[in-house]
Amino acid sequence: MPLTNTEFASIVEDGSKRIEGHIAWCEDEDHSPALEFRAEVLSGAGWPLFVRGSYNRLAGTLTYALILKTEGRIYAFDLGKDHHNPQCMQVGDKHKHRWCEQFRDKEAYVPDDIRTDLGSRSGLGAVLRGG
Amino acid sequence: MNTPIACEALTADLGELFTCTEQGVYQRIRTPYLYPDGDNIDLFCKPEGDVMTVTDLAETTRWLRMQSVSPRRSPRQRQLIEDICLTHGVEFYRGMLQARSRRGDSLAAVVTRVAQTALRVSDLWFTFRTRAVESITDEVADYLTERQLPFDRSEKLAGRSGRTWSVDFHVRTPARSSLVYVLSTGNRSAAHSVAEHVLAAWYDLNHLAAGPEALCFVSLFDDTVDVWAGEDFRLVEGLSTVTRWSRPDEFAIVLLEAA
């Protein structure tokens, strides 16, 4: 059953979403230059969610992605990589992807709540809050 | 060739859709090509003596992992990446797609090759289960193939009631044969209905669990999604062996061990 806008909105609005325990950055399966982590996202409604983070120090890129196990990526924050929207606008090197029925995860926007230094943790929190 | 001169040559040969900026010891080449979600494909080049290495610095495989529900690539996806790299003469090294531009080579041609490889590899996104192209049952089939366990899919069997059941797998190993139902749903409220359906199937087919060629009944739960309650497992465990997809090796042991 495909995700609906209503269901996506319910997920985003669920303020009980949280990660418990520690996050550990580690090498990926290819031992590439990137480090990554995966953490289950808990919630009162029991949404099957987890978050993935990836940082490539050589490419200068950072991504946090919120993934719904039954749909795929539904929300993400990208730093260091430009994006082309379906309307043919370039969004820039700091952008968020937000799922919708029409474009799924292909539409991105420039967030106004993220600091741009790669050491910031504000990106991960914003992805969980859906801000 | 140093990197600023390389970028000028690149722009001259490929046009202004390709732009270069510095990224540490690399020159980042922003290409006009896009990953399936619209993110731009960037490549990076670095001179090493007379050779210019063109690489994606593992950005393509990183992009794929940020889309993926599975913790790692399947054997089929790995094979597809190898095949793509073979077609384009690109090396897959530690997750990076890369090629060398040697003296006399066209840097533009090498960049185009690596860019096309990145495009094609990123299209593995279409093979992900959540893209409704590959189901969990396809993943199980891939696993059985990898473990060299012969099987037949979707075999139709007549139950004692006269109803025909389509069982996901009939696996035949030297020691025993097994029927496998894969229980999978993304919906917690549907989980119990799925378990009840499988229970009904095992009950109606239980004449096959008797005799010298008795079949082993295996209920394989897709527990990568947290939708199952304890009672769902207990419902089917009286008539089948319960296994979990999060522990595929245990599933394989059940199929291999003697009756």
pLDDT at B209 over 60: yes
B166 forms beta bridges with: B156
* Closest Cα in chain A, distance from residue B116 (Å): 18
- Using CA atoms, how far apart are residues B192 and B49, in angstroms rounded to an integer? 64
Q: Give all domains of chain B, ordered by start, each with its CATH number.
A: 3-131 (3.30.1460), 136-256 (3.40.1350.10)
Give whichever of B67-71, B211-215, B238-242 has the largest mean pLDDT. Answer: B238-242
**Residue B5: partners with Cβ closer than 8 Å, 6 or more residues away:** none
Inter-chain CB proximity B131 and A72 less than 8 Å: yes
- B189 or A35, higher pLDDT: A35
- Give me the helix-helix angle, B107-122 and B75-88, nearest 10°: 160
Nearest CA-CA partner of B184 in B220, B217, B215 = B220
- Using CA atoms, how far apart are residues A52 and A19, in angstroms rounded to an integer? 12
Q: Left, alpha or beta for A31 (phi > 0: left; psi -120 to 50: alpha)?
A: left
Residue B170 CA to its chain's centroid (Å): 23
* Closest Cα in chain A, distance from residue B18 (Å): 13
pTM: 0.67
DSSP state of B172: E
Scanning B161-220 for CB atoms below 8 A from A yields 186-188
pLDDT digits (tens, 9 = 90+) for B112-160: 999 999 999 999 988 775 544 346 777 899 899 989 999 998 888 999 9
Query: Which chain A residues have a beta carbon less than 8 Å from that of B61?
Result: 28, 30, 32
Q: What are the boundaries of each domain within chain A? A: 5-129
**Tokens standing for residue B182:** 């894969």
Please name the residue ranges forming H helices in B161-242.
188-204, 230-237
Q: CB of B61 within 8 Å of any CB in chain A?
A: yes
Q: What share of chain B is helix, strand, coil (3-state, %, to 5)?
A: 40, 30, 30
Nearest to A59 among B59, B65, B227 (CB): B59
What's the whole-number mean pLDDT along residues B174-189? 84
* Closest Cα in chain B, distance from residue A99 (Å): 11
- Using CA atoms, how far apart are residues B148 and B165, in angstroms rounded to an integer? 26
